[in-house]
Structure 1
Amino acid sequence: MDVEILSRIQFAFTIAFHYIYPPLSIGLGLVLVIMEGTYLRTGNKLYEDLTRFFIKIFALIFGIGVATGIVMEFEFGTNWATYSRYVGDVFGSALAAEGIFAFALESGFLGILLFGWNKVSPRVHFFSTVMVFLGSMFSAIWIVVANSWQQTPAGYHIVGEGMEARAEITDFWAMVFNPSSVERILHVWVGAFIAGAFLVLSISAYYLLRHKHVEFAKAAFKIALVVTTASSVLQLFLGHLSAEVVAEHQPAKLAAMEGHFEASAPADMYLFGYIDKEKQRTVGLAIPGGLSFLTHQDFETPITGLNAFKPEDRPGSLNIVFQTYHLMIAIGMFLIALTLFACYLWWKGKLFQQRWLLHLFMWGVILPQLANQAGWFAAETGRQPWVVYGHLRTSDALSKAVTAEQVLSSLIMFAFIYTLLFALFIYLLNKKIQHGPYDKHDFEHNPLQESMAAQLGSK
């Protein structure tokens, strides 16, 4: 493999691993706000117990997320020096804003969130929970703004020529509100809500299946189910808005996502299939004219296909773009059906009687993660061969001094370290779940609570 391929694999690996954690912290932050807000409104100690327990999970996720995110900043300089020079003036402002307005806010109130129980008033503690949640949301804003500028650049001009060229901001707000940023931020937020809430559903389902902490688990499950159902349905519409932006500003990416080759013709919408790159066709189950209808509300309107672009200007990994895009959609539709069905059973009073459904929720925690990862893979591989769409090619963005052997050795090292970190995360997460929300002394000092838990567990 050459330096470009290895560098792309290395960055994809590190950022994909890191992206396990930010969506969980954002989504879990929303659930914590709802839980603690409900406690303040009702005074029911059960919701305080919910908040205290899931804050411990949040702290673990936050810590691993910070540790795994640091590596990417160094990769910009070691592997992608030309890219860093080209976008430095643009990204510098966005990432500085992320540090000042997001990370500082989130980490500043994190201490109160974790250690402020019994040291500050309940309202102040709730305020800190809200601030930590908003900090994680703001962090996502600036990261997505920077990435969206790569997809749809705006508010800039180019200074210098050739390998010394770089982008400078001419309009900060045009850069922030570039053509794809708002839709992509909303899409990322809601995907994070689903991931975080599904973690709560998974833990709650585990307790219910084992008749442990039943009242606690039912309350947590209901809150998370509401968040997941609303977010899953909303994501369907936000995904459509994001796809419309891609159709307008990145037609080659859209053509790759749907395997559409004809330069200008009505396009089918594939439910699943496979791209035969050599024969320039897509084989699979499709809705005739479906993509044309979704894009233009007409089955016969032509869509720009891959053959309208020079071969060197098309995404190279067509099947990766196609398959990851369709995997994201398939998981999204499944989650909508699953959560709506669960809500129906809740309305009928049969939700917690379906053990098969609880098993599905317990193991289904992986599905939002797969959808989030697949969506990013489709977006980033679909942008190729450009690292800044239409301006800087990925092959030109590399550092000139780094060698393939150096990238490969560091990739192996990162894979080893990240495997250890992931094993540590799973071990600590499982340990907290097995420990449960209550310490032994909680029951020793409250026999009535122990008796109630035993009775609920036997039902």
Structure 2
Amino acid sequence: MMFDHLDPVILARAQFAFTVSFHFIFPSFSIGLASYLAVLEGLWLKTGSGVYANLYRYWMKIFAVVFGMGVVSGIVMSYQFGTNWSVFSDKAGPVIGPLMAYEVLTAFFLEAGFLGVMLFGISKVGKGLHFFATCMVALGTLISATWILAANSWMQTPVGFAINERGQFVPAGSWLPIVFNPSFPYRLVHTVIASYLTTALAVGGVGAWHLLRGRDNPGVRKMFSMAMWMAALVAPVQILAGDTQGLNTLEHQPAKVLAMEGDYDPSPEGAPLILFGLPSNEEGRVKAKIELPHLGSLILKHDPYAPLPGLKDFPRDQWPPVPIVFWSFRIMVALGFAMLGLGLFSLVARWRRKLYDWPWLHRAAVAMGPAGFVAVIAGWVTTEVGRQPWTVYGQLHTAESHSPLAAPAIATSLLAFVLVYFLVFGAGVYYILRLMAHAPERGEREPRPTPRRAAGITPAAALPQPDLQRR
């Protein structure tokens, strides 16, 4: 057959990478958007301003679509653990399985239980109860991220396990070392902040789009201002969080960091920072590189003359695919500094009282609207490809983790995923963009409670009222 010559491991990895890339976009948006909705509703209850109520209704529609697409894409991805990665599921299941189950029990049920009240109960329940439901959905998204990142972080830095007679990873006593593994806190902070920045840029991009068409809508002005505050205040924090995660990764996964930096050769007197170049695993060097002396050691060790190892200090069969990791890391970092630049630009405009009057700021915000999604995908690629050739770092090779499937079967399902995903999720993204293209309501209208009916009696509030002015 036409696919017989292909490597089934590469095909299985490509299929999982394709599906998880689609999936990752939606949780990164829904985590931040759920918290943003909680903030909007809290401000509405505190101030009584209908502007916040209008923005809440506006973004709640978008959140509902994003949340649904995230759930559907996540279910498909989880099935691949059994279809394409059955050996990994068998060996790591006693550790990964319970963590995934805890995510369903503590997060998904929480979100599902309150999502209906949040989406459809704004005019049917009290304001306090509805705000509580919104907060529970936001909390559920954060708990969900916590368990998923605990499982992924354990695969990156596995601790607290033993291997039984069947070759399976099992907890060696307490679950706390497994959940709170060495890389977990850093990944959790970095990922959650990335979700907030992704949401801020998307909200800011939508607000800027409408500001370029008119500046008198109070809801548009409010969403743009809130988004720019988030970008200005959180982007520097994210850069610091990324630095601490890099230091943690250097300690526990040094080959990944060396691949990110393109350091093939050891640097006993301080490593340079390679800005750009063409890494080659075959030649073991970065061709046509542009570098800054000693800056690599300054960033990674906070000492410009600190020695750093090179990839050549590790067996060649343990090298990650350096070109992919090298460039995905630079895309993520470049977008991070672009977010910082946009935040500073907005602070200057705010100081000059021109936040709603500088078209170039608005054009920059529109251009940066998708940047958060690109950055989280680039970060995911850096993390997961940089872990190769391991599924469980240092313990289980990727080549030993896949199911005994023939290449044609995996290739056929991969093609089916590509067609269906682009059709279904492409339509969903198009619908989200259509929702974003409409500006929020201009008037400050609050949700009204639905009149209650009992025993067929129409409440007096719903009956026609006499015209007292004519009398």
Normalised TM-score (structure 1) = 0.92
Pairing 1:403–2:406 present: yes
| 2:344 equivalent to 1:340 | yes
3-state SS of paired residue (2:356): helix
Task: Point out where structure 1 has 5 or more consecutive residues left out of the alignment.
Answer: 443-459
Distance in 2 of aligned mates of 1:408 and 1:151: 27
Identify if the C-alpha distance between structure 1 residues 212 and 411 changes in structure 2 by more than 3 Å, giving closer, same or farther. Answer: farther
Residue 270 of structure 1: SS of its match in structure 2?
Answer: strand
Q: Which residue of 2 aligns with 1:300?
A: 305
User: 2:163 aligned with 1:158, yes or no?
Assistant: yes
C-alpha displacement at 1:314, in angstroms? 1.2
Partners of 1:411 and 1:276 lie apart in 2 by 28
Distance 1:60 1:202, change over 3 A: same
Aligned residue number for residue 272 of structure 2: 268
Please tell me the residue identity of whatever aligns with 1:46: V
- The runs of 5 or more residues in structure 2 that have no matched partner are 1-5, 446-471
1:30-45 → structure 2 map (5 Å cutoff): 30-45=35-50
Q: CA 1:260–1:113 in 2, change beyond 3 Å: closer, same or farther?
A: same
Determine if contact 1:31/1:223 at 8 Å carries over to the other structure: no
Match of 1:105 among 90, 110, 114: 110
Query: AA paired with 1:429?
Result: I
Find the counterpart in structure 2 of residue 83 from structure 1. Answer: 88
Equivalent residues of 2:23, 2:70 under 8 A apart: yes
The question of 1:189 aligning with 2:192 is answered yes
Higher-Rg member (1/2): 2
Q: For residues 392-419 of structure 1, what are the alpha-carbon distances to aligned partners after superposition, in whole Å with 9 as ceiling and x for unaligned?
A: 000000112x111011100010001110
Pair 422,363 (structure 1): closer, same or farther in 2 beyond 3 Å: farther
Amino acid at match of 2:21: A
Distance in 1 of aligned mates of 2:344 and 2:437: 29
| SS, match of residue 390 in structure 1 | coil
What is the rounded CA distance, in whole Å, between the counterparts of 2:365 and 2:76 in structure 1?
33
**Corresponding residue of 1:330:** 334
**Bigger Cα displacement from structure 2, 327-336 vs 25-34:** 25-34
Change (3 A) 1:212 1:433: farther
CA shift, 1:262, in A, is 1.9
Matches within 5 A, 1:386-401: 386-400=390-404
Deviations 1:318-369 (A, max 9, x none): 1001000111001101110111111220121112222122122123221111
From 126, 130, 147, the counterpart of 1:125: 130
Q: Is the 8 A contact 1:159 1:167 kept in 2?
A: yes
Quick one: higher RCO (CA 8 Å, sep 6+), 1 or 2? 2
The corresponding residue for 2:171 is: 169
Pairing partner for 2:66 from 61, 64, 77: 61
Question: Residue 191 of structure 1 contacts residue 368 of structure 1 at CA under 8 Å; is this kept in 2?
Answer: yes
The C-alpha deviation readout for 1:17-68, integer Å capped at 9, x for no partner, is 1111001001111221221111111111111111111111110100111111
% identical aligned pairs: 38
Match of 1:20, SS? Answer: helix
Q: Is contact 2:220-2:440 (8 Å) kept? A: no
Q: Which residue of 2 aligns with 1:248?
A: 251
Among 215, 219, 242, the alignment partner of 1:216 is: 219
Q: 1:415 is matched by which residue type in structure 2? A: V
**Residue number among 228, 231, 245 corresponding to 1:228 in the alignment:** 231
Amino acid at match of 1:321: V
Q: Does the CA contact (< 8 Å) of 2:28 and 2:198 recur in 1?
A: yes
| Kept in 1: contact 2:110–2:136 (CA 8 A) | yes
Aligned to 1:311: 316
Residue of 425, 429, 434 corresponding to 2:428: 425
User: 2:65 touches 2:428 (CA, 8 Å); kept in 1?
Assistant: yes
- 1:295 is displaced (CA, Å) by 2.4
Kindly indicate whether the alpha-carbon contact (under 8 Å) linking 1:328 and 1:374 is maintained by their aligned counterparts in 2. Answer: yes
CA contact (8 A) 1:207 1:213 kept: no
Please name the residue that 1:238 is paired with: 241
In 1, distance between residues paired with 2:177 and 2:281? Answer: 38
Q: How many residues align?
A: 436
Deviations 1:138-195 (A, max 9, x none): 11111111011011001111112xxx41100122010011000000010000000011
Q: Are 1:382 and 2:386 matched, yes or no?
A: yes
1:406 corresponds to which letter in structure 2? A
Query: Once the two structures are superposed, what CA deviation does each residue of 1:406-439 show, in whole Å capped at 9, x if it has no partner?
Result: 1110001000111012221133113323444339
Alignment partner, residue 450 of structure 1: none
Give the Cα separation in 2 of the matches to 1:269 and 1:364.
26
- How far off is 1:274 after superposition? 2.2
Relative distance call for 1:438 and 1:353 in structure 2 (3 A) is: closer
1:222 alignment partner AA: S
- CA 1:301/1:439 → structure 2, altered by over 3 Å: closer, same or farther? closer
| Paired amino acid for 2:171 | I
Q: What CA distance in whole angstroms lies between the structure 2 residues aligned with 1:340 and 1:204?
A: 17
Specify which structure has the higher proportion of helix.
Answer: 1
- 2:362 aligns to what SS in structure 1? helix
Query: Distance in 2 between the 1:306 and 1:134 partners?
Result: 41
- Aligned-residue RMSD, C-alpha: 1.6
Task: With the length of structure 2 as denominator, give the TM-score of the two structures.
Answer: 0.90
Per-residue deviation, 1:291: 2.1
Amino acid at match of 2:205: S
Q: CA deviation at 1:119?
A: 1.4
Q: Are the aligned partners of 1:31 and 1:224 in contact in 2 as well (CA < 8 Å)?
A: no
Distance 1:225 1:121 in 2: 32
Q: Contact between 1:25 and 1:58, CA under 8 Å: does it hold in 2?
A: yes
8 Å CA contact 1:149–1:178 kept in 2: the answer is yes
Output one character per residue of 1:78-121: Cα deviation in whole Å (capped at 9) or x when no partner. Answer: 11111001110101121111001111111211111101112112
